[in-house]
Amino acid sequence: MPGKRRTQPPRPPAGPPADADEGAARVRALLVRTFDRKDGTGADWLLMLGSLYRAGFKIADERPENEASRSIMRRVHEGAEVRLTGGLCGRFRR
């Protein structure tokens, strides 16, 4: 078709992510495409979140337990607790 420009999808970055923030951005992009309902309403965010948590816990259960993995699980737990309580639980700790 004359005048119609073909575009290609963006290339994935070369190599592994530099840090967890970059990794999270890449995972989110992949998940949005994977969980897109393809009906114009966007991604199924609850299914995506539940699937991501289950995958993360399964990975954690399959890895040898060490201080680094415990530290990550502690941060996930604390982050979830703050979101669930609106930060109220930390106010009364001494």
pLDDT in tens, 34-66: 999 999 999 999 999 999 999 999 998 999 989
Is residue 60 included in any domain, yes or no? yes
- Residue 33 falls inside a structural domain: yes
Stretch 9-25: mean pLDDT, rounded?
Answer: 86
Q: Helix axis angle, 45-62 relative to 67-85, nearest 10°?
A: 150
Enter the pTM of the model. Answer: 0.67
Tell whether 37 is covered by a domain: yes
Helices and strands counted in the chain (H then E): 3, 0
Q: How many domains does the chain have?
A: 1
| Helices 45-62 + 20-35 axis angle, to 10 | 130
The verdict on residue 69 lying in a domain is yes
Residues linked to residue 43 through DSSP beta bridges, in sequence order: 36
